[in-house]
Amino acid sequence: MNLAVLIPCHNEAETIGKVIDDFRRELPDAEIYVYDNKSTDDTARIAREHGAKVCFCLRLGKGRVIRQMFNEINADIYIMVDGDDTYRARDVHKLIEPVSTGACDMCVGNRLVNYSPGSFPLLHIFGNKLIRFLTHKLYREKVDDMLSGYRVMNRTLVGDLCLISGGFEIETEINIQTIWHGFRIKSLPTRYSGRPPGSVSKIRTLGDGYRILATLFTLLREYQPVTAGGLIFSVLALIGLILLIIGWSGGSFFLFTIGVLLILLGFLIVCTGVVLHSINISNREGAEQRRKLFRNYKINISEGHGK
């Protein structure tokens, strides 16, 4: 089984050497790839000295790095981990096990059970739980740690992901696309530690939090247009109904007309969502049919070689 450890990095010279050594000790047969994302320190040099294969992503953003990784690396099992030495390498075995045995397609390391004091700002914990709650309500799937950078995925899942995010919202997009395409997700507790001295977080709490929430609702519009249309209709219908009542009782034809138009606009959006939902179902059926054909093709090839 071909294992690939993928480590996206931006200015992680303080920690990258230890991360590589730890994963080399736990997975001696795995290929370790460090993708340097416009670092201005010695990240690439240190990674190369510790035996990793170093590649470069010239556009800044974690999402862009991960997209490039998935496009360029071919493996049976992909282990994705941050290069800041906050995740424990020996936890990788329990994340690999359910993926390698076919129990799930992606196993996510849940940091929120066992973490060092001070590892998370309180706002980060609140944001993570809020995103988890919204995902559960909107997509009917529970992922214990939506923003974990420690996860194991199989080849089929990685091959089917069509990612567009450029920043730290990439983990949310991976989770949502995995759910939408019908792949199985499992979460297991992993140890999470604070960054060592000299290592600086690149996350901007408010800016990245806004982008993650925006990604969540953008994907809702794309993958569940009926639900998104229903939410928009509810808001427009409520505002329209209020204006309609005010216009009727106050004798304002203008407010009455605006209220009616808002309700009609909401109804139109719901109808559009129904049409888009039908298109999505057709696309999903086509994609599933292609996967079945590809699986049958590989089985036939394998049987032919066996003969």
pLDDT value at position 198?
A: 60
Contact 163, 173 (CB under 8 A): yes
pLDDT at 136: 78
Q: Could you tell me where the DSSP H helices lie in 27-154?
A: 43-49, 62-72, 92-100, 122-139
From the list 152, 159, 156, 162, the residue with the least C-alpha distance to 190 is: 152
pLDDT, tens digit, for every residue of 150-192?
999 999 999 888 888 777 788 888 998 898 888 999 999 999 9
Residue 175 tokens, joined: 């989770």
Is there a single domain that holds both residue 230 and residue 195? no
For residues 39 and 49, is the Cβ–Cβ distance under 8 A? no
Question: Domain boundary residue among 190, 205, 222?
Answer: 222
Do residue 239 and residue 160 come from a single domain? no
Q: What is the structure's pLDDT at 281?
A: 59
Residue that terminates a domain, selected from 222, 249, 264: 222
102 and 185 housed in the same domain: yes
Both 71 and 133 in a single domain? yes
HSE-CB at 268 with a 13 A cutoff on CA atoms is 6
Number of domains in the chain: 2
* pTM confidence score: 0.72
Residues 160 and 229 in one domain: no
Q: Return the percentage of the chain with pLDDT > 90, whole number.
A: 42
How far apart, in Å, are the Cα atoms of 256 and each of 16, 100, 124, 264, 275? Answer: 63, 62, 44, 13, 29
Question: 280 and 208 in one domain?
Answer: no
Range(s) of the domain holding residue 279 = 224-306
Of 269, 196, 205, 272, the C-alpha closest to 233 is 269
The domain boundary residue, chosen from 196, 222, 248:
222
Q: What is the CATH number of the domain that holds 113?
A: 3.90.550.10
pLDDT in tens, 237-295: 899 899 989 988 888 888 889 989 998 888 887 787 677 656 655 665 565 566 556 55
